[in-house]
Amino acid sequence: MIAARNNIHIQKLKAQLKKEFDMNNLGEAKKILGMEITRDTGSGSLWLSQENYVLEVLKRFNMIEARSIITLLAGHFKLSSRHCPQSPKEEEEMSRVPYASVVGSLMYAMVCIRHDLAYAVSTVSQFMLNSGKQYWEVVKWVL
């Protein structure tokens, strides 16, 4: 995918690349890496959206019916290592929870578009290998 402010630059780059590589012009991109691309050629604006990706994540983790919140990481969550599993039974229960998968999904959204998730994702990532029920509640809150 090639992007530039000036179409002449794009044409020059394409010509150079065609000399070295066998390539096809697939037209304007509408989607890349799960992000939808919207353009306003009049104003020269470009927008990226992960709305469909986020909806799929919510469906996959049975959170599609969850209500929306404004605060990504509420103050009533006080997380520390004492929230890690304290017994083999708790460890076994948490091994069935898709904690790492949810956090990874949130990370992808954070890196691509939702930079506002950075603090919440970094917080829940700290105990990725030893997360407890309280951390799972926080991850669901973020979703």
Where are the domains positioned within the chain?
A: 7-49, 51-142
The tens-digit pLDDT sequence of the chain (143 residues) is 888 878 899 899 999 999 999 988 888 889 988 889 998 888 878 889 999 999 999 999 999 988 887 767 666 667 667 667 677 887 777 778 888 899 999 999 998 888 888 888 888 888 777 777 788 888 888 88
Which H or E element spans position 124? helix 118-125
Q: Which residue has the tokens 């394409």?
A: 14
> Which of 17, 55, 136 minimizes the C-alpha distance to 1?
17
Give the helix, strand, coil percentages of the chain, each rounded to 5. 50, 10, 40
40 forms beta bridges with: 45
**Numbers of helices and strands, H then E, in the chain:** 6, 3
36/34 Cα distance (integer angstroms): 7
